[in-house]
């Protein structure tokens, strides 16, 4: 068999096929279908997973960070109050010690 004969038969067969015709509104119809699909899928599970879960993760991190900062602030306030109380007691001892010569302790 000759290769040229095979190609000729193939081209003859392809020449008999009708050419496809495209509607002049093809692009408009495709875009309309895409918009309808997007509107129908607006609140589906994948969209929730895409937007709600990361947003809730960020919110959880912010709440945790705020709670940690509040706890650290409470601890610092307790330490300051303890230091202030200790300083107040020391100053009262200093006052008593400096007034001892004027007081009659007998």
pTM metric for this prediction: 0.39
Average per-residue pLDDT for the chain: 79
Concatenated DSSP letters of the chain: --HHHHHHHHHHHHHHSPPP---TTHHHHHHHHHHHHHHHTTTSHHHHHHHHHHHHHHHHHHHHHHHHHHHHHHHHHHHHHHHHHHHHHHHHHHHHHHHGGGS---
Q: Does residue 81 register a pLDDT over 80? A: yes
Encode pLDDT of 14-62 as tens digits.
888 888 888 889 999 999 998 888 766 666 677 778 888 889 999 999 9
pLDDT at 96: 60
């Amino acid at each position: 068999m000759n290769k040229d004969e095979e190609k000729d038969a193939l081209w003859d067969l392809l020449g008999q096929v009708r050419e496809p015709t495209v509607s002049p509104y093809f692009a408009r119809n495709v875009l309309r279908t895409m918009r309808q699909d997007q509107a129908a899928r607006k609140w589906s599970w994948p969209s929730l997973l895409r937007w709600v879960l990361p947003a809730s993760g960020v919110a959880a991190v912010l709440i945790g960070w705020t709670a940690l900062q509040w706890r650290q602030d409470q601890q610092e306030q307790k330490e300051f109050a303890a230091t202030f109380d200790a300083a107040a007691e020391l100053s009262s001892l200093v006052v008593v010690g400096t007034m001892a010569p004027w007081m009659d302790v007998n």
